[in-house]
Chain A
Amino acid sequence: DTAVSQTPKYLVTQMGNDKSIKCEQNLGHDTMYWYKQDSKKFLKIMFSYNNKELIINETVPNRFSPKSPDKAHLNLHINSLELGDSAVYFCASSHTSGGGGNEQFFGPGTRLTVL
């Protein structure tokens, strides 16, 4: 009965590889997010989707490509991984992207290590 789930939990890979992280939520939310948390614990938004439509695309290298097959799923594909991509990636979801009541619920995170 996990609310927001992510796979994998840990990802260790070599520079230059391509990898994907998957996220699913069963809360009935219509907005999903990807955040990156670096070693200094700063949580920075990368992307947001509302009902499968991209609504937030912060300054992120185009090596990162999100994809939302339906409003319960948001995946993140990363091409040509670099050392600086090492971080914890959190998926989150919430109800509508506007107004109040937009409390976000986070997944357990995916710790990505690029060697």
Chain B
Amino acid sequence: QKEVEQNSGPLSVPEGAIASLNCTYSDRGSQSFFWYRQYSGKSPELIMSIYSNGDKEDGRFTAQLNKASQYVSLLIRDSQPSDSATYLCAGRSRRGSYIPTFGRGTSLIVHP
């Protein structure tokens, strides 16, 4: 079974700190990775996508991919209470029809 694993949390950080969200995957054939943010009662919203090893930065968000270790992370700098949400990691493999697999999500709480 190809899986994407995340710690369900909650991860609690103070306002202004760096929040680090982690994700591991078991399918070595996975090529593309995505981070989604989901507020309670809302739909997932794409934050970042990453396809190559290394870091990708977009504003306060940095996605990191290490294919050798099968590890994806999302760093949120200067965390704000409005960042409090569930963060979903997703990986897309080249298996068959490129089935996207989501992790169970990590709940992030940013407290003032």
Q: CB-defined interface of A37-48 with B at 8 Å, one 1/0 digit per residue?
A: 000111111001
Cβ A41 vs Cβ B86 within 8 A = yes
- Partner of A106 from the list B45, B51, B94, B97 (CB cut-off 8 Å) is B45
Decide: B32 and A90 in contact? CB cutoff 8 A.
no
B43 interface contact, C-beta 8 A: yes
A26 interface residue (CB < 8 Å to B): no
User: Which single member of B43, B49, B88, B101 contacts A109 (CB below 8 Å)?
Assistant: B43
Instruction: Indicate with 1 or 0, residue by residue over B16-36, a CB within 8 angstroms of chain A CB atoms.
Output: 000000000000000110100
Total number of A-B contacts with CB less than 8 angstroms?
58
Return the chain B residue nearest A105 by Cβ: B46
**Residue on B with the closest CB to A106?**
B43
B interface footprint on A77-115 (CB within 8 Å = 1, 0 otherwise):
000000000000010000001111111111111000000
CB of A103 within 8 A of CB of B34, answer yes
What band does the interface of chain A fall in when counting residues whose beta carbon is under 8 Å from B? 20 to 34
Find A90's partner among B44, B46, B49, B97 (CB 8 Å cutoff).
B44
**CB distance A97 to B45 under 8 Å?**
no
- 12 A-B residue contacts at CB 8 Å? A40-B104, A42-B105, A43-B102, A45-B100, A55-B97, A98-B94, A100-B31, A100-B49, A100-B51, A101-B32, A102-B32, A104-B46
Main secondary structure of the interface of A (DSSP, over half): loop
Q: Which of B57-100 contact A (CB under 8 A)?
A: 86, 88, 90, 92, 94, 97-100
Determine whether the beta carbon of B105 is less than 8 Å from that of A41.
Answer: yes
Q: What are the nearest 10 A-B pairs in CB distance? A: A106-B43, A43-B102, A55-B97, A100-B51, A106-B44, A100-B32, A109-B43, A97-B98, A98-B98, A42-B104
The distance from the CB of A87 to the nearest CB of chain B, in whole angstroms, is 13
- A104, B100: Cβ atoms under 8 Å? yes
For A109, what are the chain B residues with a Cβ–Cβ distance below 8 Å?
Answer: 42-43
Complex CA gap A55/B43 in Å reads: 23
| Cα distance A107–B45 in the bound complex, in angstroms | 10
